[in-house]
Structure 1
């Protein structure tokens, strides 16, 4: 059954646990943009901290459609993000195999945040060997006919406040203690083909 869901930038692991049983994701192409969400930020693990990668955007007004939000390329965010990802995962087991897929998307210098996030999510699903497809739908889609997970994953709250996953620890690049629910990049670069199994093991056992 199709799932109505949010569109995030390099989403956290719990997002992929949430969508894992669905073969089609419906993204609302007519929703309003919301600040301070995972729509323009992602978290990665550096040597001594968790770092937040944030995409600067050009905001006309608070009622703008998500699809109309433009990326601010006057700020050198792209170099910062790519260098950050390389610093965090350059020595990870699957970095050299997966990183080129991301570079291709960033090299396009896409104008709109929505389009960048669609392309990156498509790449992440491909690297997870997932058969899940993406579909952009209009606001008049009947939400009563679809499971609706929009708004569940809140960047301002810890994942423990949601009943989505029980983190399954895997070996990370830095630190002694496992850091859960980072961007899916952390899992992909560290575990490669095993990532899908770890997502299944992270599902909540109700």
Structure 2
């Protein structure tokens, strides 16, 4: 697999739009099964647009530490996070043009009550790629198995700085549900529910130097 075909990425929860811009044009996405969990990242949080603010949907996890493997981190179902997230998504996008078509795909993943955050994120990412009609294969790898010529984007997209400081995306505006000012780089569900089949085209126009 040549350099321009394979990308190694982080695995996020309902990833930001920037993530999908970054994987455009690749044939394979490789994800490291052996990485350690990192707190305060997109691994367990996503941003959606509500009527009066941008809201952060955060998945609670049980006793994670820096030494713990990401794939071993369990979701804390003692907290009613799932109801909060589903209600939040419904209030944010219930009246969006493509909500009724796409929401069931996400709901099916949540209804499985999967134990591990890694598994939830992998299934949600699979759904997103399908709805975006991105023809890219997802592969789970061990750190030592990555091809040396792969593009490695791990650690680039993170919550500690704005996307404008990275060389990935120049946002393409699209009609959102709330507010007069466009809010860029929300969770991919904002784009999907608002733009449906045109989402991929928005991503392509958002790529820096496209």
Q: How does 1:105-116 map to 2 (within 5 A)?
A: 105-116=109-120
CA drift of 1:167 comes to 0.3
Q: Determine if the alignment matches structure 1 residue 124 to structure 2 residue 128.
A: yes
Q: Which runs of 4+ in 1 moved over 3 A?
A: none
1:181 maps to 185
8 Å Cα contact 2:70-2:118 kept in structure 1 = yes
8 Å Cα contact 2:37-2:65 kept in structure 1 = no
Q: Determine if the alignment matches structure 1 residue 86 to structure 2 residue 90.
A: yes
Q: Determine if the alignment matches structure 1 residue 16 to structure 2 residue 20.
A: yes
Aligned partner of residue 52 in structure 1, secondary structure: strand
Q: With structure 1 as the length reference, what TM-score do the two structures score?
A: 0.98
CA distance in 2, matches of 1:47, 1:173: 8
CA displacement 1:57-78 (0-9 Å, x = unmatched): 0125320000000000000000
Q: Determine if the alignment matches structure 1 residue 76 to structure 2 residue 80.
A: yes
8 Å Cα contact 1:4-1:143 kept in structure 2 = no
2:7 maps to 3
CA distance in 1, matches of 2:203, 2:19: 10
CA drift of 1:23 comes to 1.4
Pick which of 59-68 and 119-128 moved more: 59-68
Q: How does 1:28-177 map to 2 (within 5 A)?
A: 28-142=32-146, 144-177=148-181
Q: Determine if the alignment matches structure 1 residue 196 to structure 2 residue 207.
A: no
Aligned partner of residue 43 in structure 1, secondary structure: strand
CA drift of 1:100 comes to 0.3
CA drift of 1:143 comes to 5.2
8 Å Cα contact 2:169-2:207 kept in structure 1 = yes
Q: What is the number of residues matched between the two proteins?
A: 206
Q: With structure 2 as the length reference, what TM-score do the two structures score?
A: 0.96
CA drift of 1:43 comes to 0.1
CA distance in 2, matches of 1:201, 1:178: 16
- In structure 1, the gaps of 5 or more residues are none
CA RMSD of aligned residues (A): 1.0
